[in-house]
Structure 1
Amino acid sequence: MLKKKILVTGGAGFIGGNFVHYMLEKHPQYDIYNLDQLTYAGDLTKHYDIEAKSNYHFIKADISDRKTIMSLFKKEQFDYVVHFAAESHVDRSITDPEIFIRTNVLGTQVLLDAAKSIYTSKFVHVSTDEVYGELDFEPTTYFTEDTPLQPNSPYSATKASSDFLVRSYHETFGMPVNITRCSNNYGPYHFPEKLIPLTISRVFNDEKVPVYGDGRNIRDWLHVQDHCSAIDLVLHEGESGEVYNIGGHNERTNLDVVKTIINTLEKNDDLIEFVPDRLGHDKRYAIDPTKLEELGWKPKYNFETGIAQTIQWYLGNKQWWEQIISGEYKNYFDKQYSL
């Protein structure tokens, strides 16, 4: 009996990379294909221990390269697509929006066309709560799947655009799709430019931690393993055409997150350095995950257990994030594949 094939785009990134590991462990009956262009945040070193597995395959390719992607889908006949690949760093989108349009919008369209051409059984598009815009500080207000999309950064605008494309392929062509929208993720293998790993690495080295504005911006934090389990559930049980919000009900201000890490590492708050606020910095994100919970999902981690586990992981894997910071990780692909 042939194994079903799952294409995971962006599988060298943070969430996609964790999802590859999760699926290989949870579903050994699948062949997992990791497609990634290996841009600045694409790191294959996290997959060193799974490269020898017979049901793991890596493909270096650009999702916006129509000829390559169409040929790949025709050859492999993927049963499922889980689409993580995206330019995702808000600050970079403010500096250079064009690459976000190319990857997040045009790349998604290419993947949809390729999946449609071979009648893929399910296309799961992994999006973000940032497409909803921002909430005020009223603690009883949340994003639901019916909240209008009001993106405020070039990054979130391109993700909203790709969401609309995915929806349109369901409505127009009858493609079996789901869209998931998650809150801020954290956990192992998070790229060191993001808030939590940046704070851990800098506090560990007694370096100043930059905090935008007054640090009062609120995010709902979701452990990456809980995110992976949610996507797994949506892939197998989600009703075609539906959107599912994934959030952990773990709201914290950015300043609280930084102080939690500082206190855990037994350092002083004088490491905090307030810097000018980011352009278009949304006040608050908070997700209502009721619809997904009704499907059977329940998070394993609260913020206290999750952040403690994450800090311990970074302390125990110092070599990984040091080689990311130094840029040495970029040489891994060439060394591993003799290029």
Structure 2
Amino acid sequence: MRHGSVGHLMKKPAKIRRVLITGVTGSGGSYLAEHILKHERGVEVHGLSRWRSTTQNLDTVSDRVNLHECDLLDFSSVLASLKEARPDAIFHLAAHANVRASFRTPDSVLNNNILGTSHLLEAVRLLKMNPIIQVCSTSEVYGQVDPKDVPIVESAPMRPVSPYAVSKTAQDMLGWAYFRSYGMKVIRTRMFTYLNPRRTDLFATSFARQVARIELGMQKVLLHGNLDSVRTFIDVRDAVRAYWDAVLYCEPGEVYNIGGVTTMTVGDCLKRLQAMSRKKIPTRVNPNLLRPADVTLQIPSVNKFIRATGWKPRYNFDDSLAALLDHWRRETRKDKAAAAA
């Protein structure tokens, strides 16, 4: 048996040979597919993808990912895809995940995220399958946190303040309900703020992209929303490794926070990027980027997850932020060259 960093004797890891990733073409799902294919020999990766989804994020591994055309809102396609994939583990990442946009299109976000999760869990039940299912939730479910609840433990009150967060809370509770009612092997994880170059709606990614555009003369001023929110950051590569460790070692029915160790305001994150820039970066608040209700004090306790898995982050914040900026410098050069062609 493997020992955790605090001396805890961890359970024998689950045997996983076939995995199914919902939202595999998205930002988190594609990084997870890459991680598994690079580090987990002999594991077959399947993914659900809607017909209109781009597979650009899977460019480096597309020949090794078995894609199944499926819309989680279409129950028959969910049944068919599960029968084809026959997974030992399911990572449920598919979601409408733009918090700010969820205030504009709440019905779409709620319908997609809740009904899609219900279809997935119900299909597994009806097919009498027994995979480990990880419902990949978010720290947004904790909402506006009382300072006395910091650092946030898994038993902290859930006070979601956006339609997106409400939908993820419902996903979380559906996972619990199917574990409790039917004995399905559902694990719930709540991911805190991560640095993900492929997720353009995240504030850090937006900042890095705008810095790169200003450096190349394609934009004059960096636009931002609320800079006062306090967040704890994790690199997406550490995040997807944590997802994998969760299905190996975590207990069905339990919920686990996953997050990094570097905490600062959104504004301080922006200042770090400005310091890395090759040019002065003027900034201005854009009222359209302000949410009707925002969250702060997103500071996790990940002790429960570490005890279960022995996981710890490998990438430090400054290296992750530099990698994020370098990614968008490369992408911006491509955009500028394409515009000039």
Q: Which residue does the alignment assign to 2:9?
A: none
Query: Offset of 1:27 from its aligned partner?
Result: 1.4
Q: Which residue does the alignment assign to 1:192?
A: 200
Q: Which amino acid aligns with 2:276?
A: T
CA contact (8 A) 1:73 1:118 kept: no
Structure 1 residues 128 and 38: CA distance shift in structure 2, 3 A: farther
CA contact (8 A) 1:135 1:142 kept: no
Q: Which amino acid aligns with 1:197?
A: T
3-state SS of paired residue (1:52): helix
Listed as ranges, the matches of 1:241-252 within 5 Å are 241-252=253-264
CA contact (8 A) 1:105 1:159 kept: yes
Q: Which amino acid aligns with 2:222?
A: V
**Aligned residue pair count:** 314
Q: Are 2:117 and 1:108 equivalent residues in the alignment? A: yes
Q: How far apart in 2 are the matches of 1:91 and 1:187?
A: 17
Higher RCO, 1 vs 2 (CA within 8 Å, ≥6 residues apart): 2
Listed as ranges, the matches of 1:272-311 within 5 Å are 272-276=283-287, 277-295=290-308, 296-311=310-325
CA contact (8 A) 2:26 2:57 kept: no
Q: Which residue does the alignment assign to 1:126?
A: 136
Q: How far apart in 1 are the matches of 2:50 and 2:109?
A: 14
3-state SS of paired residue (2:59): helix
Structure 1 residues 170 and 319: CA distance shift in structure 2, 3 A: farther
- Aligned equivalent of 1:46, options 36, 47, 57: 57
TM-score (normalised: structure 2) = 0.86
CA contact (8 A) 1:203 1:262 kept: yes
Query: Offset of 1:43 from its aligned partner?
Result: 4.0
% identical equivalent positions: 24
Q: Which residue does the alignment assign to 1:20?
A: 33
- Please list every run of at least 4 consecutive aligned residues from structure 1 whose deviation after the TM superposition is greater than 6 angstroms: none
Query: Offset of 1:272 from its aligned partner?
Result: 1.1
Q: Which residue does the alignment assign to 1:220?
A: 232
CA contact (8 A) 2:175 2:186 kept: yes
Deviations 1:107-157 (A, max 9, x none): 00110012222323200010000101123567x812111112110100000
Return 5+ residue gaps in structure 2 as ranges: 1-15
CA contact (8 A) 2:145 2:297 kept: yes
Deviations 1:50-89 (A, max 9, x none): 1223xx2112321121011112212332221100000010
Q: How far apart in 1 are the matches of 2:224 and 2:297?
A: 15
3-state SS of paired residue (2:29): helix
3-state SS of paired residue (1:107): helix
Larger deviation, residues 299-308 vs 91-100: 299-308
CA contact (8 A) 1:5 1:79 kept: yes
CA contact (8 A) 1:77 1:118 kept: no
Q: How far apart in 2 are the matches of 1:46 and 1:75?
A: 23
Return 5+ residue gaps in structure 1 as ranges: 327-339
CA contact (8 A) 2:27 2:57 kept: no
Q: Which residue does the alignment assign to 1:98?
A: 107
Deviations 1:23-68 (A, max 9, x none): 11111311111212266xx541121221223xx2112321121011
Q: How far apart in 1 are the matches of 2:180 and 2:299?
A: 28
- Aligned equivalent of 1:11, options 3, 10, 24: 24
Q: Which amino acid aligns with 1:182?
A: M
3-state SS of paired residue (1:158): helix
Query: Offset of 1:167 from its aligned partner?
Result: 0.3
Query: Offset of 1:175 from its aligned partner?
Result: 0.3
Larger deviation, residues 112-121 vs 154-163: 112-121
